[in-house]
Amino acid sequence: MGDVGEAASLLRDGFCGEHFDVLVPCLASRTGTPKDAWAIDHQAHVLALAAAKNAGVTQVVLLSAICVQKPLLAFQQAKLAFEKTLIESGLTYSIVRATAFFKSLSGQFERVKAGKPFLVFGDGTLTACKPISDDDLGDYLAGCIDDSLRHNRVLPIGGPGEAITPREQGERLFALLGKPPRFKQVPVALLDTIIAVLGPLGRVLPPLAEKAALARIGRYYAT
């Protein structure tokens, strides 16, 4: 198994000395915190691009994220930095900025099934999006290879239908399970408090800085 953070490993264990035509990187940092983001969302992609060129790749279909349109967080800035590198690489590119998957919904499936309430920030109507399924996203990424209309373009995409709020997602989940809707509202102010307390402390204790960064990420998606 290769290490995406090491150029030699990518060449040896990833590309294995073989020739390839297209690179479709779908890497993303696990936490989104600054250290993790710049290591994966940026540097690992830069290394993969260099290794791909060495393997003869002439086209890259990059899975990015639609949230880079409002880049307030480290992982969004890291993704944008690599997008710029890719655009300037001279290779044919398609940058797919996809909306969220249904992870915010499926991640609560077991708790709702067990009779627990669906968690929402605020009243659950602060945000709305058009989640896309894994299969639909995969089909779109694959289609970028041969569709010249998608070449050398930044492509924001979402799922079908109208944008839906977290509360509407929860209502649909309860309906599928045949249960009456129950919600637990988490105040956004709670995240503000965590950020306000851990932010300054993080300058002294690095682990607290990472927790503050996670709270900022949570607040971004909550609002």
Whether 74 has a pLDDT exceeding 70, the answer reads yes
Report phi then psi at 71, rounded to 5. -80, 85
Q: What is the pLDDT of residues 144-193, one digit of tens each?
A: 999 999 999 999 999 988 999 999 989 999 999 999 999 999 999 888 88
Share of residues in the chain with pLDDT > 90 (%): 61
> Looking at per-residue confidence, does 17 or 80 come out higher?
80
Cα-trace Rg, the chain: 20
Confidence of residue 2 (pLDDT cuts 50, 70, 90): confident
CATH code given to domain 1-98+130-159: 3.40.50.720
* End-to-end alpha carbon distance in the chain: 38
Report phi then psi at 160, rounded to 5. -75, 165
User: What pLDDT does 18 receive?
Assistant: 92
User: What pLDDT does 103 receive?
Assistant: 65
